[in-house]
Amino acid sequence: MSDEQAAPPTQGVTSKLLATVDLGPEIEGLDGLQLRMRMFTFEPGAVFGPVHDHKGRPGTVYVLAGSITDHRDGAATEYGPGLGWPEDRNTTHWLENRGTIPAVEISVDIVSKT
């Protein structure tokens, strides 16, 4: 079984919505979409799974504290404070906190308003 297939279900992760912007009035052709910013906290041992993709909802992530391991393409990459990663239509992954302290990230993405 590959690393990606073995992703456990989500546990130990909380999310707080920080802001949204309705993109329809801002940019022609983007009716029905919004820019969304959330803060996620991963307790030690937390998992954000199962494997999921970002088709139709591109975004970017920035780690504020702790470390988060991103599992994609058969590889596990650890990101600490001040680092982040893009999430585009080719992203299929799951995340975890392998550390001993809570990890905090800011996630910004474009999503459907519905």
Report the alpha-carbon distance of residue 7 to residue 13 in Å, rounded: 15
Can you give the pTM of this predicted structure? 0.90
32: CATH: 2.60.120.10
Query: Does residue 6 lie within any of the structural domains?
Result: no
Report the alpha-carbon distance of residue 27 to residue 2 in Å, rounded: 41
Per-residue model confidence as pLDDT tens digits over 8-44: 889 999 999 999 999 999 999 999 999 999 999 999 9
Categorize the per-residue pLDDT at 114 as very low, low, confident or very high, splitting at 50, 70 and 90: confident
Query: Does residue 63 lie within any of the structural domains?
Result: yes
Query: Does residue 67 lie within any of the structural domains?
Result: yes
Per-residue model confidence as pLDDT tens digits over 57-95: 999 999 999 999 999 999 999 999 999 999 999 999 999
3-state secondary structure the chain: CCCCCCCCCCEEEEEEEEEEEECCCCCCCCCCEEEEEEEEEEEEEEEEEEEEECCCCCEEEEEEECCEEEEECCEEEEECCCCEEEECCCCEEEEECCCCCCEEEEEEEEEECC
**pLDDT computed for residue 6 by the predictor:** 67
Contact call for residues 51 and 5 (beta carbons, < 8 A): yes
**pLDDT computed for residue 62 by the predictor:** 98
Two tokens, residue 78: 């650890």
Query: Does residue 46 lie within any of the structural domains?
Result: yes
Q: Looking at per-residue confidence, does 49 or 75 come out higher?
A: 75
Query: Does residue 2 lie within any of the structural domains?
Result: no
Q: How many domains does the chain have?
A: 1
pLDDT at 1 over 60: no
Query: Does residue 5 lie within any of the structural domains?
Result: no
pLDDT at 55 over 50: yes
What is the residue range of 57's domain? 11-112
